[in-house]
Every structure is written in C-alpha cells, then in structure tokens.
Amino acid sequence: MTDALCLAGVDKRYGGVHAVRSMDLRMAVGEVLTVIGPSGCGKSTLLRLVAGLERPDAGSVEIAGERVADARHWVPPERRRVGMVFQDHALFPHLDVAANIGFGLRDLTREQRRSRVAEMLDLVGLGDLGRRHPHELSGGEQQRVALARALAPRPAVVLLDEPFSSLDENLRARVRADTIAVLRDTGSSAIIVTHDQDEALSLGDRIAVLRAGVVEQVDSPDAVYGSPATRFVATFMGEADFLPAHVHDGLLTSEIGEVPTEPGWDGADLDVEVMLRPHEVALVADPAAGSSVERVEYHGAFVLHEVRLPSGRLLRSWQQHGVRHPVGTRVAVSVASGARPVLLRGERSLDGVPTEPTD
C-alpha cells in the first residue's frame, strides 16, 4: 500500500540555522503520528515542508504516492491534498460556520458543497450551529470547526499544529478525545505536533521525537517510553534516572542490586548505565539500609519519593497512594519485580547484545 507521506533526505536551512537535517520519515495510510521535541527542534518546519509553505533545500516529499517536492518538482500548497488545523484555529471571522467549512470546496457544485458541509457538521457534532459565527462559539467548538474545514476536501494528510494548546486543561482532554475519534472515524492520516509528552503518548499510533532537526526515534508510544533509543529520548519522554552498572554472565549489577538481562547476554562483560523510570524502583523501609528518603511529593494516586543512595546519587520512585515514607526514612532500594531496565553506552541505548565493549 502507498504511504500517506514519505520524506526522504529532506533538508532545510534558514540562514545559519539548520532546521531539518536529512530527515527520513514515513507515515502509513490511516496512521496518526505525533511529533514532539523541544522548542526549535524542527516540528513546525516539518509541517510547513509537508504543506508546501516551505521548499526543501534537499531531499523529496511524497504525499499519497505523488512527488510534491524535490530538486525539480514543486507542487503548490493548494494542490497537495493537505488539510491544516492551526493552534489558533484560523477561522474566518466574517464567515459563518458552514461557510468556513465549505471554503475549500470550490470544485463542487452548490448542492454537493451543501451536502458535504452538512456531513462534516454532523461528524463533529455541530449539526445545528452552521449559521453561527466563530465569535459565538466556545474554544472547543471552534476547534471542531477547524477540524471539519480541514477534513472537508478529503485530504490525503491532515496536519495539526499544537491544536489543543490554547484550550484550558479541563476542555483539552475532551476536545482531544473528540478529535481523535473523528480522525479514526474518517480513516484520516494525520500528523499532530505537540509539546506535551502525555499528549504525544496517548494520541498517536507512533511518536516521532525530534532534536535539532533530527528524528531521534520514531516508534510506538510503548517503545518510545519503555525502550528509548537515546539518552535524550529517555529524559525528554518522562522521568528517568541513570546508574552506573556492569553486565557479567547475564546479570546486571548496580548499586541497588542485580537484575537479570535479556537472553543472549551470558557472554557479555561490559560497563553500562542503567536507565530507571520511577515506577521501576521499589522501596522497602529498612532501618539498616544505607539509602534514605530526601523528598516526598504527593500526586494523588501516586506519591513520588526522592531517595539518596550511599554513593550520593539520587533516585526517584513512584509509590501507590497508600504508601508514604517520610523524609529521613531509611529504605532498601531495588529494581521492581518484572522490570527490564534499558542499558546505555554513552548517549545511545544498547540495541541487542554487543560482541565487545564500545565507546
């Protein structure tokens, strides 16, 4: 099946700023891909390159199998079959809701346009609001109008640029769920740019993590969080602590004890670092232990404990609501049962079993 989107070796500079660096990225038909990264990492530039608002300096862009940009070809934005939903919705204030949605349907007859607008209004749950103007709508309703307008021409790809960031926290969750439901119902292929890690993990079939114009990792939410490819991804996509460790005869030995490694590590003998998420760190009160609780934060369903190890390193641990070790409590620290911590050498995680130590 043809990909909904394919970027191959795409490069973009703005003067001395290298915004996108030799980027390769594919998206399947019907896939929702979330894109996340720190400010200036290239998220918005990526969207502009796909939409046709910027020309790549090198590489190619294909949408639904059609080459829309390379060294010789250039297809303008209005002919790319790309829908866009902006952070501020960008609705036309002088047009009513129906006219906003129908704005891009110029190739249809009047009756076809009216039918498609009615269909989109029903899809986003605004069937009786077609004659209202944007200023008469709530923020969530405006967001749904923007999505309906983007989907009305049946685009091959929908681009959503931080579409929920202008909404308050209570409204954001509901609008987010409604938006994903509409995308799923229509089988739309979509890229959602966000700066919110929880949002990225909960919305997409896959996540692309960008840093300085480079895709550090693109994978399922579970893989990006649980098996980060780099130290940057590990720390950017959640709380992570790192401990020096050594692998020998299939066992990972660190300051907090031994953990079995994956099959195939029996012959490995090398120094590594182990990455631990707070939910992978177990605590048991023990007056004879060398570690102690330095800080406690209550988060409702969970309680975060910050523990000082004998070496002086700090380690964080999530405990269930009913478990709270006061500051100063001596605790035995270990890796939670069933956890398989990620191992790193330098800035990258170890993918498979190395045959010899590497720098």
pLDDT band at 197 (very low <50, low <70, confident <90, very high): very high
- pLDDT attached to residue 327: 96
**pLDDT score of 334:** 94
pLDDT at position 179 over 70:
yes
- Report the alpha-carbon angle 248-237-234, nearest 5: 20
Q: How confident is the model over 180-196, as a mean pLDDT? A: 94
Does 65 have pLDDT greater than 80? yes
pLDDT at 263: 64
165 pLDDT band, cuts 50/70/90, is: confident
Confidence of residue 274 (pLDDT cuts 50, 70, 90): very high
Q: Tell me how far the alpha carbon of residue 277 is from its chain's centroid.
A: 18
Domains of the chain: 5-228 (3.40.50.300), 241-349 (2.40.50.140)
Higher-confidence residue of 341 and 207: namely 207
pLDDT at 218 over 70: yes
What pLDDT shows up at residue 64?
95
d(CA 116, CA 149): 10
What percent of the chain stands above pLDDT 90? 75
Q: What is the mean pLDDT of residues 274-299?
A: 95
> How high is the pLDDT of residue 167?
83
pLDDT digits (tens, 9 = 90+) for 244-257: 999 887 788 999 98
Q: What is the mean pLDDT of residues 147-167?
A: 92
pLDDT computed for residue 259 by the predictor: 77
Residue 262 has what pLDDT?
Answer: 65
Q: Which amino acid is at 154?
A: R
Average pLDDT, the chain: 91
Q: What is the pLDDT of residue 359?
A: 42
Of residues 359 and 101, which shows the higher confidence score? 101
Confidence of residue 322 (pLDDT cuts 50, 70, 90): confident
What is the arithmetic mean of pLDDT over 187-205?
94
**pLDDT surpassing 90 at residue 295:** yes
Is the separation of the CB atoms in 120 and 101 below 8 Å?
yes
Give the helix/strand (H/E) hosting 307: strand 302-308
Inter-CA distances, 41 with 18, 27, 45, 61, 213, Å: 10, 20, 9, 19, 5
> Which tops the pLDDT comparison, 1 or 26?
26
Q: Give the pLDDT confidence score for residue 2 in this predicted structure.
A: 81
**358 has a pLDDT exceeding 50:** no
- Sort 208 into a burial class: Cβ within 10 Å, 0-12 / 13-18 / 19+: buried
How far from chain centre, in Å, is Cα 136?
Answer: 33
Residue 118: pLDDT band by 50, 70, 90 thresholds?
A: very high
> What share of the chain has pLDDT > 70, as a percent?
95
Query: What pLDDT score was predicted for residue 351?
Result: 67
HSE value, Cβ hemisphere, 13 Å, CA-based, for 260:
6
